[in-house]
Structure 1
Amino acid sequence: MGEQGTVKPCKHFNPERDAGLLYGNLRGLASDSSYSAIINILSKRSSAQRVEILFGYHAMYGRDLIQDIKSGLSGDFQQTAASMLLTPAEYDATSLYKALKGLKIEARVLVEILLTRSAEEIKCMKESYSVKYHRSLETDIEQSCSGNLKTFLLKIVALSPDCDIQKKISSEFHGEFKDALKSQLKVIESKPQFFVEKLYRSMKGVGTDDETLMRIIITRCEVDLRDIKTSFQATHGKSLSKFIEGDTSGSYRKLLLAIVDQ
């Protein structure tokens, strides 16, 4: 877990107590206090602790917490809350599948995830992808992508820990595609600033790219979200929280701000 994350493990963690609170509050959603209780639990537990709650909930009630959240909540709040109960590898695998199997390939999502994760994280997401979808990530990249993008992504998902991506790009690609990859890689090597611009673009102008907003907040909240917040303020002269306040609403906004403002 990164020291610059906003979400830390709860020191007095009790998964059975949290499971009980979630069970009760998911059945009392007419009151604002129930939404607040759900937000308080999800935003103040580490990913590993949230997974423990998930298992505890099933053991105590014989029910799937993610399914209860999907049936009890709605909209972006529901999607964010449900996503927070996945392991990082499961969430990455889910995001990659959506990017590969939607109406069109979302190359920016594929590049964002695969170029900002370590070799060990890629290994874990590949395993999760195989378990969840009963097919390999490589197979879906092979079938869904083409040209230089396919070649590049397949090279990335086969990285070893000591692989030098810069050298691989220089030796295996040419022309404008190579230059574009090198430029992208330079940005990604400064990860906080890379995510600052992704977050900014997700909220600027009319409408919000909620998929990108929630994906970055959830995946970076235990890694480097504090650094991202600092860089965001320095770059755009306005805090990340203020941008989120202006672009989101309701319980969804409250959950994102609870994660960001710790």
Structure 2
Amino acid sequence: MNPYQQGQSGYPQQQYLHNIGFGNAAPQSFGNPMPMPGLPTMGYPQPQPGYPGYPQANSGYPSQPSSGYPNQNYPTSQGYPTTAQSYPSQNYPAAQAGSGYPQSTQGYAQPSQNYPQPVQGYPHSVQSNQQQNHYQGYPPSQSQAQTQAYSVSSGPVPTMSKSKPTVVPANPFDPRDDAAVLRKAMKGFGTDEKSIIKVLTRRSNEQRLRIAFEFKTLYGKDLVSDLKSETSGRFEDLLVALMTPLPQFYAKELHDATAGIGTDEDVLIEVMCTMSNHEIQVIKQAYTAMYGTFLEDDLRGDTSGNFKRLMTSLCVGNRSEDFHVDQERAREDARSLLQAGELRLGTDESIFNAVLCSRSFQQLAAVFQEYHYLTGHDIDDAIKSEFSGDIEKAMRAIVKVVRNKPLFFAERLHKSMKGLGTNDRQLIRIMVTRCEVDLGDIADMFQNKYGETLQSWIEGDCSGHYKKCLLSLLGVAYA
């Protein structure tokens, strides 16, 4: 049985929600769920301006679109409630004119009283109107950042190339035809795993959910339950992950990381340090619907000290998403971090927490550059010398994500397959959640850093249909 659906043993009663999955036009962003007819909608945040619209709640699924999914011009969803009252209201930014992406109207919080004032004669930056879109590219990698000339501390981080997903929505797309293919693959004696892999790994998350809806409509059976009955082991786990709405998938990963004895801090760091504000809000809503508790409460109850405070700050989901880089503010933040760490006895963790959790990724890249200009060494070295344990890993993860998010995930994939045994859950999580965003970039970074291809590592560490399914998600042709 599918643990993500309602009424299963060991899981609370819950509604099965459909969501719009990742899309390359706006990577790392969830859309509103598409509620099943007759079920109440949830308090998911309204989609930010610039994100694609979604079908009306009562419109049902389109059958055999003439123009081919996903290029239909669906009307914008209506009637979705705003964020639940238990969460602080979010001022979602207005869309930047002509860009399709949000731009914050709030600016940065004023520094605390102990922030140093700009030193007279400190080199000022040359202001530029160039803006970086962190959904489309990444700040320079760590090696690039360290080899930059720091004689002039100016200008925003240059925009890099667009991200490379390995799975894109099928076009044309007919969910009923795909449902018939899957039914045939699992009907009678034996299972046609090749057909299952070919269909499910060449469709987006949202398209897979539409296939499941049509499968139940046509055959009166649950697709996930059939997949589980016809497969086993890691291959089954991978297929279930592919068929799970992304907010619910992340919510379950976070819940399992904090449930029971012990905590998997690596999962908390991987998810909480890489999500956008909108994604965090949607995950929190899904978490409460699935488990009846608040994500923030469970994170606080299962962590401690500075790491707990960092997770709490990230869980608020209130990071600035202004694409403009304020170089003067970056210099002030760099001085504040220096005074809170290396220039004093002990460490003022609150300053690091405030800067790393509230500044936009573009602004943080400028802060790290200014820190290097002030001290002659990297902010990552300062964090290693000032912190230890989980808080050190989390702060260094934020630094890595700011500079080169694909490299961060490449390192996570390498770690999941390094040495004896395989961390299959981590491998599945990254492959499933990043394949529609930037898995192509991650594979490139993997090869650049380790001198071997991600494909070769998967082939050497996995086997059977599980291996073939992972390789298909990576974009390797499955004969």
The TM-score normalised by the length of structure 1 is 0.91
Output the CA distance in 2 between the equivalents of 1:76 and 1:242.
Answer: 19
Q: Is the contact made by 1:47 and 1:84 (CA closer than 8 Å) also made in structure 2?
A: yes
Q: Highest Rg: 1 or 2?
A: 2
C-alpha change, 1:249 and 1:61, in structure 2 (3 Å) is: same
Alignment match of 1:223 (pick from 429, 432, 437): 437
Counterpart residue number, 2:279 = 121
Alignment match of 1:9 (pick from 169, 173, 187): 169
Q: Is the contact made by 1:229 and 1:240 (CA closer than 8 Å) also made in structure 2?
A: yes
Calculate the aligned-residue CA RMSD, in Å.
2.2
* Mapping 1:104-253, distance limit 5 Å: 104-162=262-320, 170=352, 175-176=386-387, 180-189=393-402, 190-253=404-467
Residue 55 (structure 1) aligned with residue 213 (structure 2):
yes
Q: What is the DSSP-based 3-state SS (H/G/I as helix, E as strand, rest coil) of the residue aligned with 1:222?
A: coil
Displacement of 1:192: 0.6
Displacement of 1:118: 0.7
Counterpart residue number, 2:470 = 256
What per-residue deviation string (whole Å, max 9, x for no partner) do you get for residues 228-254 of structure 1? 111111111111000000000000000
Output the CA distance in 2 between the equivalents of 1:60 and 1:235.
Answer: 48
Gaps of 5+ in 2: 1-22, 25-162, 323-332, 338-349, 356-382
Q: Is the contact made by 2:276 and 2:317 (CA closer than 8 Å) also made in structure 1?
A: no
Counterpart residue number, 2:224 = 66
Q: Percent identity?
A: 35
**Which structure ranks higher in relative contact order (CA pairs < 8 Å, sequence separation ≥ 6)?**
1
C-alpha change, 1:84 and 1:30, in structure 2 (3 Å) is: same
- Counterpart amino acid of 1:251? H
C-alpha change, 1:248 and 1:179, in structure 2 (3 Å) is: closer
Q: Is the contact made by 1:169 and 1:182 (CA closer than 8 Å) also made in structure 2?
A: no
C-alpha change, 1:64 and 1:134, in structure 2 (3 Å) is: farther
Output the CA distance in 1 between the equivalents of 2:471 and 2:189.
Answer: 20
C-alpha change, 1:180 and 1:163, in structure 2 (3 Å) is: farther
Displacement of 1:183: 2.4
- Counterpart amino acid of 2:387? E
Q: What is the DSSP-based 3-state SS (H/G/I as helix, E as strand, rest coil) of the residue aligned with 1:10?
A: coil
Gaps of 5+ in 1: none
- Counterpart amino acid of 1:235? K
State the number of aligned residues: 259
C-alpha change, 1:221 and 1:234, in structure 2 (3 Å) is: same
- Counterpart amino acid of 2:182? L
Displacement of 1:102: 4.1
Worse overlay, 17-26 or 252-261: 17-26
Displacement of 1:39: 0.2
Output the CA distance in 1 between the equivalents of 2:455 and 2:395.
Answer: 31
Output the CA distance in 2 between the equivalents of 1:218 and 1:127.
Answer: 21
Displacement of 1:71: 2.1
C-alpha change, 1:171 and 1:156, in structure 2 (3 Å) is: closer
C-alpha change, 1:63 and 1:206, in structure 2 (3 Å) is: same
Residue 77 (structure 1) aligned with residue 235 (structure 2):
yes
Displacement of 1:181: 4.1
- Counterpart amino acid of 2:213? F
